Structure 1
Amino acid sequence: MTSPAAVRGQEVRQRLLAAAAELIPERGWSAVSTRVLADRAGVTPSVVHYHFPSVQAVLSEAVVTAMRHMLTATDEQFTAAKTPAEAIDAMLASIEPHSGVDPMSLLFVEAYLAATRDDRLREQLAALVADFRQRVGDWLAVQQVPDPAATAAVLAAAIDGILLHRGLGSSSEGTADVLRRLVS
């Protein structure tokens, strides 16, 4: 049986992670301070450091959790497809709600940028991407797509690129046809 204090502690921890995931796209990674994070989560600044060793640790865990969730959802849609062409459509559909400047897109952009300066975060994000690429590559191999691992790498990079370009106002019109040819 879990104690009420442990349950409250988990709830506070989750509020801190949710607040971090909101604040990163709003303010930018480096502008999220202990005080700002505590205010958003409705706790005192000392509580932040009770639950996490640093603000960086909160931000990193929030981002890794959000990215894992999004990649898992994309993976589920992709691997539920019956053909590689349907899988491309499913992958593109999974990013359709994202404009490139929406909170989730900005969260990813900020995380990628922060990972260039934080070795631990870079390792965590690289592991998520590698795992996603492996699962997509395995599915492509079953579908007998040539060079499935390299194709999965290109697909993952293409999806990231599409989102980055959307943030700049670029259209992704015609992308589905190109990506379908890649897996045909």
Structure 2
Amino acid sequence: MSASAPPSAPPAAQKNRRGLETRQRVLAVTRDLIRAHGYADVTLDQISGSAGVAKSSLLWHFGSKEMLLAEAATSLFKQIGQETAPQVRAGETPARRLDRVFEQVAQAFAANPEAKGVVLGMLFSGSVPASVRAEIRRGWDSHVQALVDAFSLPQRPMPAPMARLMLATFQGCYCHWYAGGCSEPIATFLEPARELFRMWLESAAA
């Protein structure tokens, strides 16, 4: 008697999975186009053609071009948070996790030199829809919480203001790096900040 085939996923689950895969593909394509052309010159037609997704579907998934660009940029925050989550890096010391966060941030900035700029530009632009700025703020708050979770110690949780300071340091280093024409490795700008936070972690563990 032959073994029966495993039951297939319910149609609703398959649809949800396809929808998620489409979103991830569109975000990846959008980041690639941004790297190639810059944020200002990326169009929905380009994204639609490269991702193989109808423009109407892009608008259905993301609502607007601005929201799509915002999510493509803030998805870098989410990626860093996922890769440094305590449950993912169980067994690592806080100091090693700190190194990993700074490495991931440096790689993200180097691979997407304009991504941080567009996030800041959208956040402070009065012409960007309020819903888009709200989405960026949600991504920002989530990134702060990811840092709190990554570096909290059992005896001393990382205060949210310290996580915000770390995030502000990332932005400041980025601005100096980008203003200098990205001529030096971003890690060079981030290294003094990493040393400061490493000293904080050591004092917290003492």
User: Normalising by structure 1, what TM-score?
Assistant: 0.71
Match for 1:63: what amino acid? A
Deviation at residue 90 of structure 1 after TM alignment: 3.1
8 Å CA contact 1:67–1:108 kept in 2: the answer is no
Aligned counterpart, 2:152: 140
1: CA distance, partners of 2:90 / 2:175: 24
Aligned counterpart, 1:25: 35
8 Å CA contact 2:33–2:42 kept in 1: the answer is yes
Match for 2:143: what amino acid? F
Q: Structure 1 143/96 Cα, relative in aligned 2: closer, same or farther at 3 Å?
A: farther
Q: Structure 1 79/148 Cα, relative in aligned 2: closer, same or farther at 3 Å?
A: farther
* 1:116 is aligned to 2:127: no
The count of aligned residue pairs is: 180
Q: Secondary structure at the residue paired with 1:109?
A: helix
8 Å CA contact 1:88–1:180 kept in 2: the answer is yes
Aligned counterpart, 1:102: 111
Bigger Rg over Cα:
2
Match for 2:194: what amino acid? A
Deviation at residue 45 of structure 1 after TM alignment: 4.1
Q: Structure 1 134/38 Cα, relative in aligned 2: closer, same or farther at 3 Å?
A: closer
Aligned counterpart, 2:7: none
Aligned counterpart, 2:195: 177
Give the alignment of 1:16-95 within 5 angstroms.
Answer: 16-49=26-59, 51-76=61-86, 81-83=92-94, 85-95=95-105
8 Å CA contact 1:21–1:63 kept in 2: the answer is yes
* CA shift digits 1:90-119 (9 cap, x unpaired): 322333434x4422x422322222232333
8 Å CA contact 1:60–1:121 kept in 2: the answer is yes
Q: Structure 1 143/94 Cα, relative in aligned 2: closer, same or farther at 3 Å?
A: farther
Aligned counterpart, 2:3: none
Deviation at residue 78 of structure 1 after TM alignment: 7.7
Structure 1: runs of 5+ lacking an equivalent: none
Q: Structure 1 80/34 Cα, relative in aligned 2: closer, same or farther at 3 Å?
A: same
Identity of aligned residues (%): 21
* CA shift digits 1:38-57 (9 cap, x unpaired): 22223454554455433223
The root-mean-square deviation of aligned C-alpha atoms, in Å, is: 3.6
8 Å CA contact 1:13–1:51 kept in 2: the answer is yes
Q: Structure 1 36/132 Cα, relative in aligned 2: closer, same or farther at 3 Å?
A: closer
Deviation at residue 182 of structure 1 after TM alignment: 3.3
8 Å CA contact 2:73–2:116 kept in 1: the answer is yes
Deviation at residue 151 of structure 1 after TM alignment: 1.6
Aligned counterpart, 1:2: 11
Match for 1:102: what amino acid? A
1: CA distance, partners of 2:174 / 2:58: 32
